[in-house]
Amino acid sequence: MTDLSPDLPRDPRHDPVLREEVIAALAIVPGECHVDATFGAGGYTRAMLAAGADVVACDRDPDAIAEGQALVAEAGGKLTLIHGRFGEIDRLLAERGIEAVDGITFDIGVSSMQLDRDERGFSFQKDGPLDMRMAQEGESAADWLNRADETEIADVLFHYGDERQSRRVARAIVAARPLSRTGELAKVIRKALRHPPGAPKDPSTKSFQAIRIHINGELDELVAGLNAAERLLRPGGRLAVVSFHSTEDRIVKNFLRERSGGDAAGSRHRPAPTPLARAATFETPARKVRPGKAEEARNPRARSATLRSAIRTSAPAHSVQGNSGKEIVSC
């Protein structure tokens, strides 16, 4: 079998953020079953395999699944790769006879593999079709931007991108329609925000992020994934979530706070949940972890990353169990 040591040289194109910290939070014991719910280019999966885990990995992007087959072959039967949404990970595993696992990892947001391919339309740094669909199906960013009204576009930019001038940008987008290329959209945004050429921090960043989150339903998917993880993790199982956006991190923080017996705070994006008089399903979460300066220098995309982790208790899941009546087996 190919050497899967976590000390392998890093691939700068697919350098998993906070890799060592994630593996430490998972505390893998050889032979355990762990889930990489967002496979991407396989960075976390490779590290989990190196630590001795049997891994079930999931991704909604068919490109990730196709390109991951090489790692499946290398892993010699210790890796199962599934095409599907991580919000449905409990159902996807139940279909394969797996109802409980020892650890689950989420890496929320777009992968480096998707960002680096201009034909996928996620990045404003290279011109490409205005797509942004992770699953490569359904409504594209161009489809939505060319049909949505100004108010809808402004609301998405404000709530998902924290764009304070969302109305100005939305008005410019509507005036410039039809749009079909990432370069066109970036140019419209820069002009609307009066961004001088060569100035630091491209103002397109917030809007591109917001549109991507909306097109892929990422916040709803994250909530579904966290609830699925609560159902899947056996007592003592470990959850690790890496997020890159303040709203995503707030959802994770509030979920773990509420599920560990605290009171989750609300936000303008999502109201605070009603307190539940139930036993805590997670122990008090570990302190959040941020990348060090060395990692930020090596991988600029790590700068906004936050890792939150927690350990499952033996209390029943708060969510309704979607797959009942089957014998609990391990992978």
**What percentage of the chain carries pLDDT values higher than 90?**
71
This prediction's pTM: 0.85
18, 147, 194, 290, 302 from 294: Cα distances, Å: 11, 44, 34, 12, 10
Residue 11 has a pLDDT of 46
The overall average pLDDT reported for the chain is 87
Give the C-alpha separation, 101 to 98, whole Å.
8
Q: Is the dihedral of CA 249, 255, 256, 261 positive or negative?
A: positive
Average pLDDT of 172-191? 96
Tokens for 62, please give them.
Answer: 């068919």
Tens digits of per-residue pLDDT, 186-214? 999 999 998 866 666 788 989 999 999 99
Q: For residue range 14-59, what is the model confidence (pLDDT) as tens digits?
A: 678 999 999 999 999 999 999 999 999 999 999 999 999 999 999 9
All domains of the chain, ordered by start, with CATH? Answer: 12-113+218-311 (3.40.50.150), 136-215 (1.10.150.170)
pLDDT top residue among 43 and 299: 43
Q: pLDDT tens for residues 223-246?
A: 999 999 999 999 999 999 999 988
**Cβ neighbour number for residue 116 with a 10 Å cutoff:** 15
Whole-angstrom distance, CA of residue 275 vs CA of residue 317? 15
- Backbone Cα Rg of the chain: 20
pLDDT digits (tens, 9 = 90+) for 75-126: 999 999 999 999 999 999 999 999 999 999 999 976 566 556 666 756 777 8
Percent of residues, the chain, with pLDDT higher than 70: 82
